[in-house]
Amino acid sequence: MVEFEGRGPVGYDLLLTIPPHSAPKVVVESGLAKESAWIPVDPGNLAVAGFENVYAIGDVSTVPLPGEFKPGVKLVMPKAGIFAQYQGEIVAYHIAANATDAKLAGKGFCYIELGDQHAVRGDGSFFDMPHPTMAPPAVPDRTQYEQKKAWIDGWIRERL
């Protein structure tokens, strides 16, 4: 049995669950995190305002997006591995190569597997105006499934 806020207990056969998503205590206590409990950063270079040479990447950061779907409703970049990777690369350019013109492009992609060795790739462009856009998805097929596997294999191999 599991109990949700205000609901339950509820029975289940198989429970897949994720604990509440929050920044680690050390980040919250550092004073870098603001109202949202995440660290707001410059969307171009991931610098933390008010702290010299401090950058935040990945899930602990909040990257504001320029566009909006509804007037006044601010958007932020989704938290995903692909964005953490791209953000890390930009910050590495800034720190290691002093490449101050290196800027996040706001683009990202993911593959969705649909079974039977079929997958589809989704490509998003999150700094687009007037709002983030997704490229029209291709028809799921085995080619994209193979591309997904190759992408993951390459990603892991590069980091071993």
Ligand X SMILES: Cc1cc2nc3c(=O)[nH]c(=O)nc-3n(C[C@H](O)[C@H](O)[C@H](O)COP(=O)(O)OP(=O)(O)OC[C@H]3O[C@@H](n4cnc5c(N)ncnc54)[C@H](O)[C@@H]3O)c2cc1C
User: Checking DSSP bridges between strand 61-62 and strand 39-40, what pairing results, if any?
Assistant: parallel
Which amino acid is present at 78? P
Which of residues 51 and 155 has its CB atom nearest to ligand X in the complex? 155
Which of residues 23 and 127 has its CB atom nearest to ligand X in the complex? 23
To the nearest whole angstrom, how small is the minimum distance from the Cβ of residue 73 to ligand X?
A: 22
> In this chain, which of 54, 75, 76, 110 binds ligand X, going by CB under 6 A?
110
**Region 121-150 residues binding ligand X, contact defined as CB under 6 A:** none
To the nearest whole angstrom, how small is the minimum distance from the Cβ of residue 33 to ligand X?
A: 13
Which of residues 29 and 146 has its CB atom nearest to ligand X in the complex? 29
Which of residues 79 and 103 has its CB atom nearest to ligand X in the complex? 79
Site string for ligand X, 54-93 (x = CB under 6 A): ----xx-------------------xxxx-x---------
d(CA 145, CA 88): 26
To the nearest whole angstrom, how small is the minimum distance from the Cβ of residue 136 to ligand X?
A: 20
To the nearest whole angstrom, how small is the minimum distance from the Cβ of residue 78 to ligand X?
A: 8
d(CA 46, CA 103): 9
Residues in the site for ligand X, rule: CB under 6 A?
Answer: 18, 24, 26, 58-59, 79-82, 84, 110
